[in-house]
Chain A
Amino acid sequence: MNFESELKKGNLVISECIDCKKITWPPSEFCNQCLKETSWRKCSDLGKIIEFSKQNDIYFGIIQFENSIRIMGKIISGNPEVGKTVQVVECGVSDSEYVLKMKVVEE
């Protein structure tokens, strides 16, 4: 199991240290704090918009998950604003690029 093989199956996973419990990002087999091994676990599918912009009709942005990891992806529905919550609707690998699509969760 690794990050990319899980992402190919549509699962967003993160690497958490088996010892100090810190999350290492970008994902790695080893903790970048204490250099011990990590284990994989599922990441929350709810994230927060840190910043975004728009190309043609597509919004793209930096989304933060679990208060620590940040990924760029497409925001495919809703009205994005900094701080708003988004939910992952699709993730995977296409042409060896990581694909992340999200929708805004309107409160």
Chain B
Amino acid sequence: MDKVAIAGYGITKFTKDDSKIESVLLNSSRNLFRNSPNLTQKDIDAVLVSSNNNSKYLSAILSEISGIQPKIAHTVESLCNSGTNSIVAGYSYIASGLADCVLVSGAERYDSPGQILEWDKFRGEFKHPIFWASIFSKAYKQKYSIKDEDLALVSVKNHKQSINNPNALSQKEYSISDVLNSKKLTDDLRLLDCSRPCTGGASILLTSEEVCKNFTDSPVWITGIGQKTTSASFTKNLTFDNMESTKNAAIRALQMSKHSVADVDVMELHDAFSVCEPMALDSLGMTQEGKGMDMVKEVYETENTKINPRGGIIGSGHPLGATGIAQTIEITQQLQSVAGKRQVDNAKIGLVHNMSAASTSSTVLVLEN
């Protein structure tokens, strides 16, 4: 199996702009070409688009407007982890020898249809993501004696970290009391505990080992992949205080990379809501079950930004199809030591955790420099 490198990337600012999905795709792809001076359109033999937008054949459209005639072109959609799913698809094309150079581009609009799941009728009148998040928060708080003000720290930390991310939707700091006093959506969720849908794009260039040196002197390698889908319906989660699909995906991603969780220097976690961050830390095995919040507190107090350095999803915004790619770009920049003010010292091994549909599906990637 061929090794697969991340050999380039481009990203747009995350906004509330009313832009066409095609323009968002093109903008991050143009940035990728700008960042990769030796790359030309004819080098690319696959174009994969990640989006929940209900448009047809976006990969053919992106190829056309960016002057690419790829061998392989199609969309990958799997809600909020479409981005990492498209990276895994690109990886597979390269590892199998079907392609050498894959452009993976994710984009979403602020009004994405991916936020409401028509299939999941047994959420009844409680279809909006704030309801599953409330159930998760309630269950997690109850099981581990955690308070609202504890969970609020996730939002405080990630908003603070997003200040150093020029592409983030949020550029504002908040205090614990700001979070607690923000609009009460349910008894277990405040507005500032939530990530916000937005318009944004992120593109990544995946290549084989042989081809990567044409485009970069500092490739980052995808050395571990784990994925698991347990169901499509939220209520089929067996428990609501941890993420079963994440546990499963993490074990296999780490196994494949031949590392243990303790080796991970920097990570992007899928903090769609405050509770998701400590829960993901537990489920990834970064901490003992129920101790995720202690780890969040510790990194916050020691000003260690290794958890969600770009501000996570809460700080950066959540353009669904672009999120997993944006997370992967952040870890790539960290491992290349080009993350500027967000840089985590001496980062060699990074992890991406991207999930969808109330954690019924998760992807975990391990990256190394």
Could you list which residues of chain A lie within 8 angstroms of chain B, going by C-beta atoms? 25-26, 50-55, 60-62, 70-74, 82, 97-100
Contact = CB atoms under 8 A, between A and B. Distances in A.
A72 B235 CA distance: 8
Given A26-B233, A51-B139, A71 B188 contact: no
B240 A51 contact: yes
A55 B187 contact: yes
B187 A54 contact: yes
Contacts of B188: 53-54
Given A26-B233, A55-B186, A97 B138 contact: no
A51 B275 CA distance: 15
B15 to A, nearest CB: 29
Q: A interface, by DSSP: helix, strand, loop or mixed? A: strand
A74 B139 CA distance: 17
A53 B135 contact: yes
Given A72-B122, A72-B124, A74-B125, A51 B185 contact: no
12 contacts: A51-B240, A52-B135, A54-B188, A55-B134, A55-B186, A60-B126, A62-B240, A72-B122, A72-B126, A73-B124, A97-B124, A99-B124
A72 B131 CA distance: 10
Majority secondary structure of chain B interface residues (helix, strand, loop or mixed) = helix
B142 interface: yes
A43 to B, nearest CB: 12
A53 B235 contact: no
B291 interface: no
A72 B135 CA distance: 10
Contact of B122 (A26, A54, A74): A26
A17 to B, nearest CB: 17
B297 interface: no
Contacts of A71: 122, 124, 235
Given A60-B131, A62-B135, A70 B236 contact: yes
Contacts of A61: 135
B72 to A, nearest CB: 32
Nearest to B120: A26
B122 A55 contact: no
B16 interface: no
A82 B241 CA distance: 13
Given A51-B240, A55-B186, A70-B235, A26 B135 contact: no
B74 interface: no
A26 to B, nearest CB: 6
Interface in B119-157: 121-127, 131, 134-135, 137-139, 142
Interface in B211-266: 233-236, 240
B125 to A, nearest CB: 5
Contacts of A70: 122, 235-236
Contacts of B127: 97
Give 9 nearest A-B pairs by CB, closest first: A70-B235, A53-B134, A54-B187, A55-B186, A72-B124, A53-B188, A72-B126, A72-B123, A71-B122
B138 A98 contact: no
A24 to B, nearest CB: 12
A64 B121 CA distance: 15
A53 B125 contact: no
B277 to A, nearest CB: 19
A21 to B, nearest CB: 19
Contacts of A62: 135, 235, 240
A55 B121 CA distance: 19
Contacts of A51: 135, 138-139, 240
Given A53-B134, A53-B187, A98 B235 contact: no
Contacts of B137: 53
A99 B127 CA distance: 12
B235 A99 contact: no
Contacts of A100: 124
A55 B125 contact: no
